[in-house]
Structure 1
Amino acid sequence: MNVIIIEDEKPAARRLGRLLNQLEVSVATMLHSVEEAIIWFQNNEHPDLIFLDIQLSDGLSFEIFEVVKIESSVIFTTAFDEYALQAFKLNSIDYLLKPIDEEELEIAVKKYQSFGPKKQEVSMDFEDVKKLLLNPLEREYKKRFTVRVGQHLKIINADLIECFYSENKGTYAATNDGRNYLLDVSLENLEKDLDPETFYRVSRKFYVNINHIKDIISYTNSRLQIKLNRYNDQEIIVSRERVKDFKLWLE
């Protein structure tokens, strides 16, 4: 199997390469921009499989397909919202959300291998995909959450929640009045209910509300620290792998 990686973050590309090597998958080359990828495809035999980041340093990777006819299968590596991705998931081999999980990577590779060694021409309409990613699918997100307080049920408006966080196997909502409420749902299952324009998962432990961010501070190892208006029980750190997409989300 001949594979290339198109990823503008070189540490992320190298990590993906190491994970693929552990799966005995040979990586022919790593490309880091739209321009570099176009030139490479115009002058080289196309690989069997491309691991493709969506947001590159000089534009969206879909621009590559507007210039060059790609005859390879694609596995996306992205931090975009999963509901937009579902709209075209069946037209690609798979997608992997960053930071890439080793088990999910192995499943994606095996899925490709199950199709056989023959190259499969990418059939998705990239114009439609771009529209979906730049204009996420219309859907209703939860505007209120119900929590139990003693023998009572309390209704909390989503716009009053500064962050959701996990602690000691529980999931909590921290509100702008300084209170924390235990929810009966995991962070993973909560994701489908949160408006991605308002809430962003900055780490495995935290979703933050953009409207309650007071300050963003540079932190060690190229990370960021978030200060909210009221919540200060724990440090909220944007993991290094998510910093770039977090900055895009802020804009």
Structure 2
Amino acid sequence: MRTIIIEDEKPSARRLNRLLQAIGVEVSVMLHSVEESIAWFEQNEHPDLIFLDIQLSDGLSFEIFDKIDIQSFVIFTTAYDEYALQAFKLNSVDYLLKPIDDEDLKKAVDKYQSLQPKTNKLTLDFEEVKKLLVNPLEREYKKRFTARVGQHLKIINATDVECFYSENKGTYAATLDGRNYLLDTTLENLETELSPEIFFRVSRKFFVNVDHVKDIVSYTNSRLQIKLNRFSEAEIIVSRERVQDFKLWLQ
């Protein structure tokens, strides 16, 4: 498949290119600005797949689509927070939050390959996504969850959750009273349901509540270990790729 990257940060573009090469995807060209991309599309056959950064050095990448009728599938690569993720889910093959994780990248490419034989173009509502990015509306995040306990439903306030975590294909809420409740959801769903001011996904397995962090300790390989007030069933490690974003989030 013919693939291009549109990304203004050249180190990020090179890293994404290396990750794609590792899973057998060859990138034909890397573009770095709105102006350069428009000129390229005017003179070249459109690729099968575009990895598209949102914020480029000379404007939002949606300006490309104002000028060019893109005939390609799109996977967003973005550093934008959770408020826009639902729009990405609805309007693209997939989205990848920076820093891009290699397993998430492979899943996105696999998703594209499963869709590609069924249609030769994905219809995108770029105006809807752009509206959310430029003028994000105040979002209401989930304030409570329910968990089945025997014949009863337990109401769990989000503020009482120290962390959400996945284990053996289940998703759990660890609460201040030291209990762990099995929820009928996934960590992927929680990405758009939890307030990004309170919860941060430190790894593929954990979301942590900043209000219940007791200590943060340096860990091996430039990672961090988080200690919560009550939760002790497993080590909570901030993956190396997310350490910088986690530190910025804490400020």
The alignment's TM-score, normalised by the length of structure 1, stands at 0.68
- Provide the residue aligned with 2:20 in structure 1: 16
Which amino acid in 2 is paired with 1:124?
A: F
Instruction: Give me the whole-angstrom Cα distance separating, in 2, the residues matched to 1:123 and 1:149.
Output: 42
* 1:31-42 alignment runs, 5 A limit: 31=31, 36-38=32-34, 40-41=36-37
- Provide the residue aligned with 1:65 in structure 2: 63
Q: Given that residues 147 and 181 in structure 1 are in contact (C-alpha distance below 8 angstroms), is that contact kept between their aligned partners in structure 2?
A: no
Return the match for 2:126 from 124, 127, 145: 124
Q: Considering only aligned residues, what root-mean-square deviation do their CA atoms show, in Å?
A: 4.1
The alignment's TM-score, normalised by the length of structure 2, stands at 0.68
Q: Given that residues 76 and 88 in structure 2 are in contact (C-alpha distance below 8 angstroms), is that contact kept between their aligned partners in structure 1?
A: no
Once the 2 structures are TM-superposed, how far is the Cα of residue 138 of structure 1 from its aligned partner?
A: 4.9
Once the 2 structures are TM-superposed, how far is the Cα of residue 230 of structure 1 from its aligned partner?
A: 3.4
- Provide the residue aligned with 1:240 in structure 2: 240
Quickly say closer, same or farther: Cα 1:66–1:107, change in 2 above 3 A.
closer
Instruction: Give me the whole-angstrom Cα distance separating, in 2, the residues matched to 1:166 and 1:124.
Output: 33
Instruction: Give me the whole-angstrom Cα distance separating, in 2, the residues matched to 1:142 and 1:64.
Output: 30
Q: Residue 87 of structure 1: SS of its match in structure 2? A: helix
Q: Given that residues 172 and 183 in structure 1 are in contact (C-alpha distance below 8 angstroms), is that contact kept between their aligned partners in structure 2?
A: yes
Deviations 1:6-48 (A, max 9, x none): 3543434410243352xxxx412335xxxx4346436644552
- Provide the residue aligned with 1:209 in structure 2: 209
**Structure 2 unaligned blocks of 5 or more:** none
Instruction: Give me the whole-angstrom Cα distance separating, in 1, the residues matched to 2:77 and 2:35.
Output: 21
Q: Given that residues 55 and 61 in structure 2 are in contact (C-alpha distance below 8 angstroms), is that contact kept between their aligned partners in structure 1?
A: no
Instruction: Give me the whole-angstrom Cα distance separating, in 1, the residues matched to 2:30 and 2:244.
Output: 19
- Provide the residue aligned with 1:174 in structure 2: 174
Q: Residue 4 of structure 1: SS of its match in structure 2? A: strand
Q: Residue 233 of structure 1: SS of its match in structure 2? A: coil
Q: Pick which of 159-168 and 194-203 moved more.
A: 194-203
Instruction: Give me the whole-angstrom Cα distance separating, in 2, the residues matched to 1:146 and 1:122.
Output: 34
Which amino acid in 1 is paired with 2:108?
A: E
Instruction: Give me the whole-angstrom Cα distance separating, in 1, the residues matched to 2:78 and 2:109.
Output: 13
Quickly say closer, same or farther: Cα 1:135–1:43, change in 2 above 3 A.
closer
Q: Residue 225 of structure 2: SS of its match in structure 1? A: strand
**Structure 1 unaligned blocks of 5 or more:** none
Once the 2 structures are TM-superposed, how far is the Cα of residue 101 of structure 1 from its aligned partner?
A: 4.5
Q: Given that residues 37 and 64 in structure 1 are in contact (C-alpha distance below 8 angstroms), is that contact kept between their aligned partners in structure 2?
A: no
Q: Given that residues 81 and 196 in structure 2 are in contact (C-alpha distance below 8 angstroms), is that contact kept between their aligned partners in structure 1?
A: yes
- Provide the residue aligned with 2:95 in structure 1: 96
Once the 2 structures are TM-superposed, how far is the Cα of residue 203 of structure 1 from its aligned partner?
A: 1.8
Q: Residue 208 of structure 2: SS of its match in structure 1? A: strand
Q: Residue 163 of structure 1: SS of its match in structure 2? A: strand
Q: Given that residues 52 and 76 in structure 1 are in contact (C-alpha distance below 8 angstroms), is that contact kept between their aligned partners in structure 2?
A: yes
Task: Work out whether 1:157 is the aligned partner of 2:157.
Answer: yes
Instruction: Give me the whole-angstrom Cα distance separating, in 2, the residues matched to 1:103 and 1:173.
Output: 25
Q: Residue 107 of structure 1: SS of its match in structure 2? A: helix
Which amino acid in 2 is paired with 1:199?
A: F
Once the 2 structures are TM-superposed, how far is the Cα of residue 91 of structure 1 from its aligned partner?
A: 5.0
Instruction: Give me the whole-angstrom Cα distance separating, in 2, the residues matched to 1:97 and 1:63.
Output: 16
Percent identity (aligned): 55
Instruction: Give me the whole-angstrom Cα distance separating, in 2, the residues matched to 1:123 and 1:170.
Output: 33
Once the 2 structures are TM-superposed, how far is the Cα of residue 78 of structure 1 from its aligned partner?
A: 4.0
Instruction: Give me the whole-angstrom Cα distance separating, in 2, the residues matched to 1:70 and 1:245.
Output: 34
Quickly say closer, same or farther: Cα 1:55–1:159, change in 2 above 3 A.
farther
Instruction: Give me the whole-angstrom Cα distance separating, in 2, the residues matched to 1:244 and 1:13.
Output: 21
Which amino acid in 1 is paired with 2:238?
A: V
